[in-house]
Amino acid sequence: MIFYAFDIAIKHESPDMESGYPGNLQVKVHYILTNENEWRIHYEAKSDQETLFNPTNHAYFYTGLSQSDAKQAVRLAIKADQYTPIRKDGIPLGTASVEGTAFDFRQPEGCLLAEHLASQNEQIRLVNGLDHGFVFPQSHSETSVAWLRTPNYQLTVSTDRPSMVVYTYNIGDSHVSMDQVDLAEHDVIAFETQVLPDAIHQPSFGSVVLKKDEWFTSTTTYQISK
């Protein structure tokens, strides 16, 4: 049995036409810690008019790739058959197969993240790393979709969302510190579970339309283990 060691709910009400979006939108986000070392994010939302809604989370997890011993230790696995090539401004161009590309992280033992980030693939070089969407098989149904292994911990990501954007902090020396450690590029990574960006213009990505008086619910779980 899993016990919730911590559960806090944050509520927000977005009035009709705030930032141009129709409908009075009610949102509640639960942040849950369990005794299984899980951090669960559970979203709930409802609008009194049809509107757009595609929540995600942009927390960073430490890779330490700027440290020499991490380059041969940090491994990433993503259960995605397709990814989204992007334009220079980050807008997706559609989907493409990961087969034979630097975006193929399907190996059971994971892939060395540093090797993929050093690839000469034009999409990797466009943004100096990953800032791309990954599409999961339709049958995944809130199972594990990705894991990150570092010298200090393993992170497993599970979600009911159909895809996620992976961002590898590609901005170079930004003089940002975390726990009193100065971060270099690729030292942290974000797993942003969601419907793919620009879905409103690319129907094949999935729907981000929240219909009038319908409840939206979604859960993403980050589990940390040794």
Tens of pLDDT along 23-35?
999 999 999 999 9
Local confidence band at 143 (pLDDT 50, 70, 90 cut-offs):
confident
pLDDT score recorded for residue 177? 76
Where in the chain are the domains? 1-53+208-226, 57-207
- Average pLDDT (178-189) is 86
Mean pLDDT computed over 181-193: 93
Average pLDDT of the chain is 94
Res. 103: pLDDT tops 60: yes
67-102 pLDDT, tens digit each: 888 999 999 999 999 999 999 999 999 999 999 999
Residues 6+ apart with CB under 8 A from 105: 76, 77, 78, 80, 98, 111, 116, 146
pLDDT > 90 fraction of the chain, expressed in percent and rounded = 87
pLDDT greater than 90 at residue 154: yes
Instruction: Indicate whether 215 pLDDT > 90.
Output: yes
Determine the pLDDT at residue 140: 61
pLDDT for residue 142: 57
**What confidence category does residue 179 fall into, taking pLDDT thresholds of 50, 70 and 90?**
confident
- CATH 2.30.40.10 holds for 57-207: no
User: How far is Cα of residue 116 from the mean position of the Cα atoms in its chain?
Assistant: 18
- Is residue 178 pLDDT above 90, yes or no? no
What pLDDT is stored for residue 176 in this prediction?
78
Say whether pLDDT at 136 is over 60. Answer: yes
What's residue 181's pLDDT?
A: 76
Q: How much is the pLDDT for 1?
A: 55
- Tell me what the mean pLDDT of segment 125-147 comes to: 89
Q: Which has the higher per-residue pLDDT, 4 or 107?
A: 107
